Amino acid sequence: MTAGVRITPSLVARLVVLAGAIVFFALAPLFMSNFRQSELVLVGIYFIAIIGLNIVTGYSGQISLGHGAFMGIGAYTTAILVTKYDVGQYWTIPLAGLIAGIVGFLFGFPALRLTGVYLALATFGLAVAFISLAQSTRFEGYTGGGGGLALGVPTTPYYLTWSIALGMFVAAWLLLRGRLGRRLRAVRDAPVAAVSSGINLALVKAIAFGLAALYAGVAGSLLVIRTGFVNYLTFPVLLSILLLTGAALGGFGSLGGVLFGALFIQYAPGLSATLPHVPKESAPSVMYGVILLIVLFLMPGGAAELVRRLLGLLKRLTGPRYSRRTGERVVS
């Protein structure tokens, strides 16, 4: 069976947008201050994390409120390897992703037997538990307890982050177009049929979860490299919440919306202000919540819905299509 790609106007449009985005991000640092670049690094980090979240929530339909915890696992992996074992920080990135991914897979296997509600709660619990564990004096030897671990000088790994982001974006795109993606969608849309056609539900769900955790782990690793520091406050419950809302705003099931979600998290007057990377202020989070609600009311499908509508418009503008098989007009 061929994995051919149909050339449609919408595909072309998306590739054009992608190319434009690549050009923008490639050239941006030439025109930007270091501060802005650092902000964009954060956007890239969120971007990677949200791609992962999208896989689990958008494509296989499971709500995860614990994504911050997996970012944390990746971050601490990197931090521990760098501070205790003197590994070069950039080499730790894939390892961080791998370990987070394995933990995610192992967590996912039992946890995903739970239905939606239970899973959301379990992942919420994971986010909360992670903070307790990171803070705990029992593990101080590894985690530095309340004080955390310091890597050294903060950096602005702009090109590294965005190259990884691009690479992982393409990887996700390919994966989701292929067998895994079809299986995930089957699991999401018609679980009974999926099982009848031989798909091992638990395995597929766990793989999706593990994959998502892997992405989060990589993101977390990059985060700690950027900030040069990590402790139990770096990944509060609010971060997991932010990631989920970012993914939702982008519109689940659409990789294109992910970028929107990442940008939203960073720049919406808001909750980003209460994260440890930036000074605290309570009012902005109210703003964030309100904006979130407004978007929810106007566009329950998120940015992806907007994009889909635009693409629909594009289809109409490029003329009707006729089915090769029956010769009739195709109305989509």
- The contact set with another protein (CB under 8 A) reads 57, 63, 110-111, 113-118, 120-122, 124-126, 128-129, 132-133, 135-138, 191-192, 194-195, 201, 237-238, 241, 244-245, 248, 252, 271, 274, 282-286, 288-290, 292-293, 296-297, 300
Distance CA 76, CA 230 (A): 7
Strand 321-322 relative to strand 329-330, pairing: antiparallel
Nearest 5°: the CA angle 230, 133, 128 is: 90
Least distance from another protein to the Cβ atom of residue 5, Å: 29
- The residue among 87 and 287 lying less far from another protein, judged by its C-beta, is 287
- The residue among 76 and 124 lying less far from another protein, judged by its C-beta, is 124
- The residue among 170 and 193 lying less far from another protein, judged by its C-beta, is 193
Determine contact, residues 80/142, Cβ cutoff 8 Å.
Answer: yes
Q: What is the DSSP letter of 155?
A: -
- Alpha carbon 175 to its chain centroid, in Å, reads 15
- The residue among 25 and 260 lying less far from another protein, judged by its C-beta, is 260
Determine contact, residues 216/222, Cβ cutoff 8 Å.
Answer: no
Least distance from another protein to the Cβ atom of residue 262, Å: 16
Least distance from another protein to the Cβ atom of residue 224, Å: 21
- The residue among 126 and 166 lying less far from another protein, judged by its C-beta, is 126
Least distance from another protein to the Cβ atom of residue 65, Å: 8
Least distance from another protein to the Cβ atom of residue 81, Å: 23
Least distance from another protein to the Cβ atom of residue 310, Å: 20
Structure tokens at 229: 């520091």
- The residue among 147 and 300 lying less far from another protein, judged by its C-beta, is 300
Helix axis angle, 179-189 to 201-227, nearest 10°: 110
- The residue among 57 and 92 lying less far from another protein, judged by its C-beta, is 57
Distance CA 108, CA 43 (A): 27
CB under 8 Å to 54, separation ≥6 — which residues? 172, 247, 250, 252, 253, 254, 255, 258
Distance CA 96, CA 165 (A): 15
Least distance from another protein to the Cβ atom of residue 159, Å: 33
3-state secondary structure of 33: coil
Per the rule left: phi > 0, alpha: psi between -120 and 50, beta: everything else, 148 is left
Determine contact, residues 214/42, Cβ cutoff 8 Å.
Answer: no
Strand 329-330 relative to strand 149-150, pairing: unpaired
- The residue among 176 and 239 lying less far from another protein, judged by its C-beta, is 239
Least distance from another protein to the Cβ atom of residue 67, Å: 13
